């Protein structure tokens, strides 16, 4: 199934949020951003193609155990 425009926007939001995560070393900020990522992924459009995320984003999501 092709990715919808909404899913493409959500994928971009996930990429941006991962960028925010990588830019901070504050423990509490990282927890908040991780929770936001969990929420974005859980409520993403069903056509979201996670394989189109960047390699770095996929690695970070894998480290956080968010790729289910």
Q: Per-residue pLDDT tens for 4-52?
A: 999 999 999 999 999 999 999 999 999 999 999 999 999 999 999 999 9
| pLDDT value at residue 68 | 74
What is the rounded distance in angstroms from the CA atom of residue 4 to the CA atom of residue 23?
Answer: 29
pTM of the shown model: 0.91
What DSSP character marks residue 45? -
């Amino acid at each position: 199934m092709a990715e919808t425009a909404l899913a493409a926007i959500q994928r971009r939001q996930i990429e941006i949020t991962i960028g925010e995560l990588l830019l901070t070393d504050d423990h509490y900020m990282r927890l908040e951003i991780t929770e936001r990522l969990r929420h974005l992924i859980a409520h993403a459009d069903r056509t979201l193609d996670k394989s189109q995320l960047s390699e770095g984003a996929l690695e970070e999501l894998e480290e956080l155990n968010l790729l289910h």
